[in-house]
């Protein structure tokens, strides 16, 4: 209801064609190439069945990255995270629903935690919003199992600094509902993959046997 009222008072314009209505209109949405990438986010090697057979840190983890950070998706991300236009979460969830494979059996959607500093600055938790909507669209369980230990910024950090910061960035809360279920971790963008590796390790340490990550964009 609130989103509808805000959209009426301050309507969005399509970031591709400029049409009034949504940040990505229906016509432009179907022009976006959303296909799971075939390269590992860590080593760049070819994935087989969406898994890397080389990287120990991501062994048996399904990798789903749908696009590169460019064009209309880059503009959407900038509006979402830097201009604080919360409605963008609907477009991210829509992309996930349109392009992610259908996951078999019991599936839990786990958001990669946002730092409390960013939540306060924006007034919302962006990964929570799109992860929760994606779970609802697919009929999966929304299960926020991870929280952040610190608020050190990854933006501007070197690859080595990102890896060090990410290594102890997360901790678990609660416990697994089902160790045999699939836990799909969601985020908007991946750069070095350090945060994903750390979060995957947390889920595996909890006893999760089947882990995947679903990311909208890869930094290019």
Instruction: Compute the distance between CA of residue 136 and CA of residue 60 in angstroms, rounded to an integer.
Output: 26
Given this model, what pLDDT does residue 158 score? 59
Mean pLDDT of 59-71: 97
- Residue 7 pLDDT > 60, yes or no? no
- Residue 153 pLDDT > 80, yes or no? no
Proportion of the chain above pLDDT 90, given as a percent = 78
Given this model, what pLDDT does residue 214 score? 98
Given this model, what pLDDT does residue 41 score? 96
Given this model, what pLDDT does residue 9 score? 46
CATH architecture of 34-218: 3-Layer(aba) Sandwich (3.40)
| Strand locations in the chain (E) | 12-13, 20-21, 62-68, 107-111, 141-142, 146-148, 170-172, 182-190, 210-218
Give the mean pLDDT of the chain: 89
């Amino acid at each position: 209801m609130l989103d509808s009222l805000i959209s009426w008072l301050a309507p969005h314009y399509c970031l591709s064609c400029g049409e009034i209505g949504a940040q990505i209109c229906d016509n432009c949405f179907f022009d976006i190439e959303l296909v799971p990438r075939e390269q590992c986010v860590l080593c760049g090697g070819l994935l087989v069945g969406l898994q890397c057979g080389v990287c120990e840190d991501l062994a048996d983890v399904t990798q789903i990255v749908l696009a590169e950070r460019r064009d209309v998706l880059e503009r959407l991300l900038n509006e979402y995270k830097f201009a604080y236009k919360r409605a963008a979460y609907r477009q991210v969830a829509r992309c996930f629903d349109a392009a992610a494979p259908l996951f078999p059996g019991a599936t839990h959607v786990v958001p990669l935690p946002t730092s409390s500093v960013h939540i306060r600055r924006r007034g919302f938790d962006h990964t929570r919003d799109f992860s929760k909507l994606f779970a609802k669209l697919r009929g999966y369980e929304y299960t926020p199992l991870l929280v952040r230990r610190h608020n050190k910024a990854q933006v501007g950090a070197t690859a080595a600094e990102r890896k060090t910061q990410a290594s102890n960035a997360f901790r678990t809360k609660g416990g697994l509902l089902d160790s045999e279920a699939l836990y799909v971790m969601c985020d908007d963008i991946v750069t070095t993959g350090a945060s994903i590796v750390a979060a995957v390790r947390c889920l595996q340490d909890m006893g999760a046997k089947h882990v995947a990550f679903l990311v909208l964009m890869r930094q290019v």
